[in-house]
A and B are shown apart, each in its own frame.
Chain A
Amino acid sequence: MEKFTQLTAIAAPIRRINIDTDIIIPSREMKRVSKQGLGEGLFAGWRYTKPGGREENADFILNQPPYREAKIILTSANFGCGSSREHAVWALHEWGIRCIIAPSFGSIFQGNCVRNGILPVVLDDEKVVELVNWVEQDAAANQLTVDLVAGKVSAADHIEYSFSLSEADREMLLNGLDAIAVTLKRADEIAAFESRDQKQRPWAYPQRPAP
């Protein structure tokens, strides 16, 4: 998995509460059994003028010059709610997004971000608004810096906010770890739990269905 340590980049404000994963990538854009080729479908319902079409909607922020290069999204509460589709995260990543700053996230989406090298940063709404106000003055020049090592988001020298992440998620992002490999280091512990549990809860292990 791609590492995340520190990033200075253009940030695109997409401010609306409850942006769901159907908005991030409509189901109709998930065309193949693949994690690739999804960037094109990112925000398809907003980004293009017609459903299924590819003519750009000039009003949508990610179609506008400075924001086309954005690697950070500044958004609102409950971003990524709804469907579990990891395609939303794969689409964001392929398009170029590496960090999303919001007051809260859909829980499955947040987990999916961490497993794909995208840093979800939780900041209070007022702080996100502060960042948006600053970015909007001159998006190309007013880039944000997100530092996972220090746990800080900063804007030039006048804004600095701390954020936290669970240690497991932080380690995974900082080192680009393979979560399965990390867990398999505990294979013996898992096997011991399982053999103990099979005696304690024999009913919890599937049996052949009754005829």
Chain B
Amino acid sequence: MGRSCIEKLWDAHEITDLGDGSSLLYIDRVFLHERTGSIALKSLEASGRRVRNPAQVFCTMDHIVDTFPGRTDQTLMPSGTDFITATREAARAAGITVFDLGDPRQGIVHVIAPEQGIAYPGLTLVCPDSHTCTQGALGALAWGIGSTEAEHAMATQTLVVRRPKTMRVVFDGTLSHGVTAKDMILHLIATHGADGGVGYAIEFAGPAVRNMPMEARFTLCNMAVEFGAWTGVIAPDEITYEYVRGRPYAPSAEHWESAETCWRSLVSDDDARFDAELRVNVADIVPTVSWGTSPQHAVGIDETVPDPATEKDVNRRQLMEKALEYMDLKPGVPLEGIPIGAAFIGSCTNSRLSDLRNAAAIVKGKRVAEGVRAIIVPGSGQVKAAAEAEGLDKTFVDAGFEWRESGCSMCFFAGGENFGLETRVVSSTNRNFENRQGPRTRTHIASPTTVAASALRGALTDVRKLV
């Protein structure tokens, strides 16, 4: 019987089958950030253990750092500096490569690991961060872990992992104008629930994925965790190889041929079996926006806020009722036209150069609506520099956006910067959880172009009318 891409990746890293449904897997890369990596490094040191292979461990500063121009180690978040300095000291002591503040390569872990060529096809990569699944888009097995597991990975270069069930999600058809990878994944989660992928590793496949540029693939895989999946993977192809080739830490010319030969064999065999399969025709997808407090609470921008009374499942109905209360919305209200107080473009989901280009094309020569606070946070120093070289920063600033240094920024509220109590925000991030972006902040997640269009109008907007 044939094997799937996920099974091939798994088998290539299996040191031993532990016989209880789990295996000891070899871990090729560990990436840390200052929020959860600091405690992992500190705790490892306290236990008297060492990082086994420092060359396979990398670290960035993204979660706690401020994103204001001219930032330093000081943070608006109380005690944030402690996380930064503790991480820096422990990482240096362990001999780990750090992409520190001031380093032009610094940025959000899931943006810079691919950007630097640290993540590429055929690898296992872990990070104490749930959105590590983003990097599965390269044809790698990449997943989020806890801090204790990060210690384990650093001390042993292995993890004990329960073998997941496999699911293939096939995206057929062609995306309509104005519809993006973000809309695809929101649509999938809204259709099958935030627990639709629990217990599964998911391969995203089909023509719509094959035709997708690398950066959009990252967006798609990024929210596999919001679907409850252990991780998401896209089998590598020419688009992947083209993306990886020549990056600083990517395989050298000397090893490239043997790497590519291996990568080509990672594609799922025709007779590979999956435990579950879903099919979606992407032509049916419209720009999608969340209305509630779970990523499953999302509908097309041309729809209305759903009525919990129509939901048969009691658990789902109760969550919908709580969500409407938190979001201060009533059933039946059209999504389009709901007034917003802020707009945010950034995060590991949507902060790459193509995201910024697409958003800039919407706002060029226009102005953000009166009273709307609009912020752009590039995903890395390199994304920022590339955007500035194209003049995108000027487009955004002229339109009334703030242009920031890279980091996770207001994707979540750590006690520092936030949009304010009960502010309604349209955001290119991945989580619309209660209080995620700030105390009682009401988050609507959407694509960067929907965010840009909504910022101009001061209300949730169907971006298809502007492109």
Q: Is B155 an interface residue (CB 8 A)?
A: yes
Q: Is A137 an interface residue (CB 8 A)?
A: no
Q: Which residues of chain B have C-beta atoms less than 8 A from A26's C-beta?
A: 413, 435
Q: Are B414 and A30 in contact (CB under 8 A)?
A: yes
Q: Are B122 and A204 in contact (CB under 8 A)?
A: yes
- Rounded to whole angstroms, the CA-CA distance of A166 and B21 in the bound complex is 7
Q: Are A202 and B258 in contact (CB under 8 A)?
A: yes
Q: Among the listed A23, A104, A206, which residue makes an inter-chain contact with B198, where contact means beta carbons less than 8 Å apart?
A: A104
Closest chain B CB from A102 CB (angstroms): 11
- Rounded to whole angstroms, the CA-CA distance of A33 and B116 in the bound complex is 28
Q: Among the listed B116, B315, B439, which residue makes an inter-chain contact with A17, where contact means beta carbons less than 8 Å apart?
A: B315
Q: Among the listed A17, A32, A76, which residue makes an inter-chain contact with B79, where contact means beta carbons less than 8 Å apart?
A: A32
Q: Is B71 an interface residue (CB 8 A)?
A: no
Residue of A nearest to B34 (CB): A33
Taking CB atoms and an 8 Å cut-off, the chain B residues in 32-88 that contact chain A are: 35-36, 38-39, 42-43, 47, 49, 55-56, 77-79, 82-83, 86
Closest chain B CB from A210 CB (angstroms): 5
Residue of B nearest to A76 (CB): B315
Q: Which residues of chain B have C-beta atoms less than 8 A from A187's C-beta?
A: 156
Q: Which residues of chain A have C-beta atoms less than 8 A from B82's C-beta?
A: 32-33
Q: Are B439 and A31 in contact (CB under 8 A)?
A: no
Residue of B nearest to A105 (CB): B198
How many chain-B residues does the 8 Å CB contact rule pick out? 87
Q: Are A210 and B252 in contact (CB under 8 A)?
A: yes
Closest chain A CB from B126 CB (angstroms): 10
Residue of B nearest to A109 (CB): B146
Q: Which residues of chain A have C-beta atoms less than 8 A from B199's C-beta?
A: 104, 107
Q: Are A111 and B248 in contact (CB under 8 A)?
A: no
Q: Given A115-B149, A183-B24, does the pair A189, B248 have CB atoms closer than 8 Å?
A: no
Q: Are B15 and A35 in contact (CB under 8 A)?
A: no
Q: Which residues of chain A have C-beta atoms less than 8 A from B209's C-beta?
A: none
Q: Which residues of chain A have C-beta atoms less than 8 A from B128's C-beta?
A: 84, 86
Taking CB atoms and an 8 Å cut-off, the chain B residues in 381-422 that contact chain A are: 412-415, 421
Q: Which of B28, B148, B436 has the most CB of A within 10 A?
A: B148
- Rounded to whole angstroms, the CA-CA distance of A78 and B16 in the bound complex is 30
Q: Given A27-B415, A189-B16, A205-B56, does the pair A82, B318 have CB atoms closer than 8 Å?
A: no
Q: Among the listed B77, B226, B440, which residue makes an inter-chain contact with A51, where contact means beta carbons less than 8 Å apart?
A: B440
Closest chain A CB from B203 CB (angstroms): 17
Q: Are A210 and B248 in contact (CB under 8 A)?
A: yes
Q: Is A106 an interface residue (CB 8 A)?
A: yes
- Which of A58-66, A140-148, A190-198 forms part of the interface with chain B? A190-198
- Which of B157-165, B234-242, B279-287, B356-364 forms part of the interface with chain A? B157-165
Closest chain B CB from A105 CB (angstroms): 8
How many residue pairs between the two chains, A and B, have CB atoms under 8 Å in the bound complex?
205
Q: Is B92 an interface residue (CB 8 A)?
A: no
Q: Which residues of chain A have C-beta atoms less than 8 A from B158's C-beta?
A: 183, 190
Query: Interface size for chain A: under 10, 10 to 19, 20 to 34, or 35 or more residues?
Result: 35 or more
Chain B 1-31 against A: per-residue CB contact (8 Å), 1 yes, 0 no? 0000000000010011011111010101100
Q: Are A17 and B24 in contact (CB under 8 A)?
A: no
Q: Among the listed B22, B26, B49, B56, which residue makes an inter-chain contact with A197, where contact means beta carbons less than 8 Å apart?
A: B26
Q: Are B146 and A111 in contact (CB under 8 A)?
A: yes
Q: Is B255 an interface residue (CB 8 A)?
A: yes
Q: Are A203 and B256 in contact (CB under 8 A)?
A: yes
Q: Which residues of chain A have C-beta atoms less than 8 A from B440's C-beta?
A: 51
Q: Is B219 an interface residue (CB 8 A)?
A: no
Q: Among the listed A22, A78, A210, which residue makes an inter-chain contact with B433, where contact means beta carbons less than 8 Å apart?
A: A22
Q: Are B413 and A179 in contact (CB under 8 A)?
A: no
Q: Given A18-B294, A76-B315, does the pair A207, B252 have CB atoms closer than 8 Å?
A: yes
Closest chain A CB from B45 CB (angstroms): 12
Closest chain B CB from A178 CB (angstroms): 8
Q: Is B169 an interface residue (CB 8 A)?
A: no
Q: Are A206 and B15 in contact (CB under 8 A)?
A: no
- Rounded to whole angstroms, the CA-CA distance of A22 and B118 in the bound complex is 29
Closest chain A CB from B294 CB (angstroms): 5
Please give the residue numbers on chain A whose beta carbons come within 8 Å of chain B beta carbons, in ascending order.
15-18, 20, 22-23, 26-28, 30-35, 45, 51-52, 76-78, 81-86, 89, 104-108, 111-112, 115-116, 125, 166-168, 179-180, 183-184, 186-187, 189-190, 193-194, 197, 201-207, 209-210
Given contacts A20-B431, A204-B123, 12 further A-B contacts (CB under 8 A): A20-B433, A26-B435, A27-B412, A82-B431, A112-B149, A168-B22, A183-B24, A183-B152, A183-B160, A201-B262, A204-B28, A207-B251
Q: List 26 A-B contacts (CB under 8 A).
A: A15-B318, A16-B322, A18-B194, A22-B435, A27-B413, A27-B414, A31-B415, A34-B39, A45-B435, A78-B194, A81-B194, A81-B228, A84-B128, A84-B146, A108-B144, A166-B21, A166-B22, A167-B18, A179-B160, A183-B160, A184-B156, A201-B122, A202-B255, A203-B122, A206-B55, A210-B252
